[in-house]
């Protein structure tokens, strides 16, 4: 089920996002201030258009272990991770974050990605004791970002998980999950989304749009499915080996490609950070071909204005294109960061 437009996108000053992220705010009136808040203080970002899948049932962990790229068979209660679904040839089809809590495994994925992920899970159920369902209408993702995130969460009376991928329950349903050193996802009951955001704001968090979140994501070179991936992407190209792909586990779909490329050590493409020319306010869209001397050598991913670095982007280029190379992105010069 696709989530409805977020009620947080109706707050004063909110400018709506477009495309795949339609339904949440792109910024809230001052994108530079919002980015600085996430970088130096704390802010909350509405990511409630992400899809959510719940998987209860006694066979859930061994089953998910066997059909995804991640080692999940012994995932302890109160922890999480990230994983992929790969094609038989090892190409990335789905990316998801995981939380294991109180007898249910929760997967949250890209906006619009739930039907495809759920269809794959349903096709692999066989006679196992698992009951995957679309839980997008149940829980909404609200992300707290910044070095002061633990202070803000404590002031709001919300749990602040200590360790990376630690998961703690929320009073009233849902959970908090630490995904990075300065980032905590709150998956709150969808009916409580506005109240949770107001509680965080009252505790010192700056309301921020998705622009701020994406700018920091690009700066730290974190890929996003469908933006920094295409139908040919393998996990090695975008840095998902060791994070979303576990190399010490048994057979799963796409494993042969993962093992072969890992042992050879030469994926055909790589994820890079680009610095774009600032001559134009409008940035090239994701998917724009990148050319060198007229030849296509890759494609542009997310392009965004960063509060310190200026216009930057992620891109996937041929492995043989060296750092420092200036590429052409539909008329915009783009230099590969060294």
- Chain segment 30-60, per-residue pLDDT in tens: 999 999 999 999 999 999 999 999 999 999 9
Say whether pTM exceeds 0.85. Answer: yes
- pLDDT of 7 above 80: yes
- Better-predicted residue by pLDDT, 4 or 42: 42
Comparing C-alpha atoms, which of 98, 6, 83, 84 is closest to residue 53?
98
Amino acid 282: pLDDT: 92
Alpha helices in the chain (DSSP H): 31-40, 60-67, 114-123, 149-155, 193-202, 210-219, 255-264
Comparing C-alpha atoms, which of 170, 134, 196, 152 is closest to residue 8?
196
**What's the pLDDT band for 1 if we cut at 50, 70, 90?**
low
- Chain segment 126-140, per-residue pLDDT in tens: 999 999 999 999 999
- Cα–Cα distances in Å, from 294 out to 170, 239, 279, 289, 290? 54, 28, 21, 11, 9
| Cα 29 from Cα 34, distance rounded (Å) | 9
294, two tokens: 């007229």
**What's the pLDDT band for 190 if we cut at 50, 70, 90?**
very high
Q: What percent of the chain has pLDDT over 90?
A: 95
């Amino acid at each position: 089920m696709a989530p409805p437009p977020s009620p947080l996108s109706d707050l004063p000053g909110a400018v709506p996002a477009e495309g795949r992220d339609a339904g949440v705010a792109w910024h809230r009136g001052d994108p530079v201030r919002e980015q600085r808040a996430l970088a130096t203080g704390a802010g909350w970002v509405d990511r409630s258009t992400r899809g959510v899948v719940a998987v209860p049932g006694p066979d859930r962990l061994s089953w998910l272990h066997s059909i995804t790229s991640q080692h999940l068979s012994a995932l302890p209660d109160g922890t999480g991770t990230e994983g992929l679904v790969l094609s038989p040839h090892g190409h990335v089809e789905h990316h998801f974050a995981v939380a294991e809590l109180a007898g249910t495994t929760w997967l949250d994925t890209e906006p619009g990605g739930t039907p495809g992920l759920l269809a794959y899970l349903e096709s692999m159920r066989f006679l196992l004791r698992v009951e995957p369902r679309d839980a997008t209408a149940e829980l909404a993702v609200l992300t707290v970002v910044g070095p002061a995130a633990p202070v803000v969460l404590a002031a709001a009376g919300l749990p602040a998980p200590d360790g990376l991928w630690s998961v703690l329950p929320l009073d009233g349903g849902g959970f908090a999950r630490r995904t990075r050193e300065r980032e905590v996802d709150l998956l709150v009951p969808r009916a409580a989304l506005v109240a949770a955001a107001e509680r965080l704001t009252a505790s010192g968090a700056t309301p921020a749009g998705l622009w701020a979140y994406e700018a920091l994501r690009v700066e730290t070179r974190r890929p996003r499915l469908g933006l920094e991936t295409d139908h040919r992407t393998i996990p090695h190209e975008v840095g998902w080996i060791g994070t979303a792909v576990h190399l010490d586990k048994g057979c799963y779909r796409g494993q042969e490609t993962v093992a072969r490329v890992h042992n050879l050590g030469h994926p055909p493409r790589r994820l890079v950070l680009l610095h774009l020319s600032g001559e134009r306010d409008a940035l090239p869209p994701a998917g724009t071909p990148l050319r060198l001397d007229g030849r296509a050598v890759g494609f542009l991913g997310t392009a965004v204005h960063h509060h310190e670095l200026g216009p930057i982007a992620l891109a996937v280029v041929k492995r043989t294109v060296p750092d420092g190379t200036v590429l052409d992105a539909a008329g915009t010069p783009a230099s590969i960061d060294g």
